[in-house]
């Protein structure tokens, strides 16, 4: 059962809110070893660790056209329609994030502007494991396509038969992904970082994963590859008072708990009555879940925190910086206006977190482990770079030339000063 904590002092919050994660040092050595083998042995190393971790021998790392066509036949028409609806909403929301060129004349004759360009090569990591997250294909592939990325590589672990879940293949094909690789975990991140004969090197890696994938992504940044964010085990914080429906709150908590044993869910409330009713509902609903064993382990890592007022609750929530934040109170606006650290916010009794996971249109690839304090979730900008441009006319040299000379001279950079001085002289 979830641990109940009543009115903890702010000094206790850091300890109470600690995530159930392993020490990085326990994982880093493994990642470094696998990376070294991928650099030296390429596809052979990827296949070796697929054998070791996934328990399957894969003859060809790339998915064939025949496998994609076969997968389409295995998906029901109802699921296809659901995926297409989600695709429409995700495309609509992310396409709306496009911004036009920003142009400013900072001084007469000094024109500066900024334009966005797509990242040319991106890698998408799609967890397979116990829950094949085909929804993540939509969340990553669609903004990549909208942004205009030229090469999009998708890596996902195979099942025990060496196959990719048909829903992942169908969704990837629907999104226009042509290079789908049977590789998961550390070895997939390594392959996209360094490149192999089958799997291209990319410039940026996207996608959630377990703690091993998270550490692998973070270490990949040491090898001239960027990542979307540190995205590890899933987490959810619900802020609810007596206006919330206990069954709904319990269902939201369990929806995240079933992701994995290392997931964490937290209920923050100002209502003791609600807390009691939610606890009863959790027990009832938990017994009906096929993934009861996984959810039960996650629930043991999770907490209910009862506080006296909404101000304390808000401060605690901002300290935790949840990946997903559900607010269902008599004063939702207070939390909406004052939340500073959260990956994505879900408002009211009828906005389950699972809507954002699948079909409302927002992106579900979000910062975990407190990184919402400094990272955004995946959005269209994540697949682009901003490039600045400037053009200075003779008139512009007149307005800023002297300032450039003086500042360069003050920094002791005479060549910098000279570059402007020559231009000033030429205009006399």
Q: Which of the residues are catalytic? A: 323-324
Tell me how far apart the alpha carbons of residues 132 and 146 are, in angstroms, rounded to a whole number.
Answer: 24
DSSP string, 297-321: HHHHT-EEEE-SSHHHHHHHHHHH-
Q: Nearest to residue 261, comparing CAs of 302, 220, 316?
A: 302
Does 262 appear as a known binding residue?
A: no
Q: What angle do CA 156, 162, 168 make, to 5 degrees?
A: 40
Does 285 appear as a known binding residue?
A: no
Does 252 appear as a known binding residue?
A: no
- Location of structure tokens 């002297």: 402
Does 234 appear as a known binding residue?
A: yes
Does 259 appear as a known binding residue?
A: yes
Within 10 angstroms of residue 402's Cβ, the number of other Cβ atoms is 13
Does 309 appear as a known binding residue?
A: no
| Sign of the CA dihedral with 321 first, then 367, 374, and 342 last | negative
Does 357 appear as a known binding residue?
A: yes
Contact 224, 193 (CB under 8 A): no
Q: What is the dihedral of CA 97, 364, 384, 116, to 10 degrees?
A: 10
Within 10 angstroms of residue 103's Cβ, the number of other Cβ atoms is 11
How far is C-alpha 64 from the geometric centre of its chain's CA atoms? Answer: 28
Does 210 appear as a known binding residue?
A: yes
State the binding site.
Answer: 125, 187, 210, 234, 256, 259, 324, 357, 411, 416
State the binding site for NAD(+).
Answer: 125, 187, 210
State the binding site for Zn(2+).
Answer: 256, 259, 357, 416
State the binding site for substrate.
Answer: 234, 256, 259, 324, 357, 411, 416
């Amino acid at each position: 059962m979830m641990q109940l904590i009543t009115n903890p002092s702010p000094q206790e919050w850091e300890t109470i809110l600690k995530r159930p994660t392993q020490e990085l040092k326990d994982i880093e050595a493994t990642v470094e070893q696998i990376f070294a083998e991928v650099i030296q042995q390429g596809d052979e190393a990827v296949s070796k660790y697929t054998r070791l971790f996934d328990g399957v021998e894969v003859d060809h790392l790339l998915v064939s056209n025949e496998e994609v066509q076969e997968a389409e036949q295995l998906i029901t028409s109802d699921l296809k329609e659901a995926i297409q609806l989600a695709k429409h909403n995700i495309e609509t929301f992310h396409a709306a994030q496009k911004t036009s060129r920003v142009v400013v004349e900072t001084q007469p004759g000094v024109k500066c502007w900024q334009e966005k360009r797509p990242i040319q090569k991106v890698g998408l990591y799609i967890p397979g494991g116990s829950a094949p997250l085909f929804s993540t294909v939509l969340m990553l592939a669609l903004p990549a396509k909208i942004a205009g990325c030229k090469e999009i590589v998708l890596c996902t672990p195979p099942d025990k038969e060496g196959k990719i879940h048909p829903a992942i293949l169908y969704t990837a094909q629907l999104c226009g992904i042509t290079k789908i690789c049977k590789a998961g975990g550390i070895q997939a991140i390594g392959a996209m970082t360094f490149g192999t004969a089958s799997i291209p090197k990319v410039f940026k890696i996207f996608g959630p994963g377990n703690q091993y994938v998270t550490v692998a992504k973070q270490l990949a940044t040491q090898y001239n590859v960027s990542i979307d964010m540190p995205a590890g085990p899933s987490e959810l914080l619900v802020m609810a008072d007596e206006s919330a429906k206990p069954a709904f709150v319990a269902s939201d908590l369990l929806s995240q708990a079933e992701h994995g044993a290392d997931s964490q869910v937290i209920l923050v409330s100002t209502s003791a009555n609600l807390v009691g009713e939610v606890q009863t509902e959790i027990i009832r609903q938990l017994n009906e879940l096929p993934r009861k064993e996984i959810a039960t382990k996650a629930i043991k890592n999770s907490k209910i925190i009862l506080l006296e007022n909404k101000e304390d609750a808000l401060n605690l929530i901002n300290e935790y910086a949840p990946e997903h934040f559900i607010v269902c109170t008599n004063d939702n606006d207070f939390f909406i206006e004052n939340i500073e650290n959260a990956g994505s916010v879900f408002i009211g009794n009828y906005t389950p977190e699972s809507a954002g996971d699948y079909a409302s249109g927002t992106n579900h690839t979000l910062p975990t482990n407190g990184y919402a304090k400094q990272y955004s979730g995946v959005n269209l900008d994540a697949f682009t770079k901003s490039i600045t441009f400037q053009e200075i006319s003779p008139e512009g040299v007149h307005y800023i030339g002297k300032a450039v000379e003086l500042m360069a001279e003050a920094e002791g950079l005479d060549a910098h000063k000279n570059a402007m001085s020559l231009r000033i002289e030429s205009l006399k």
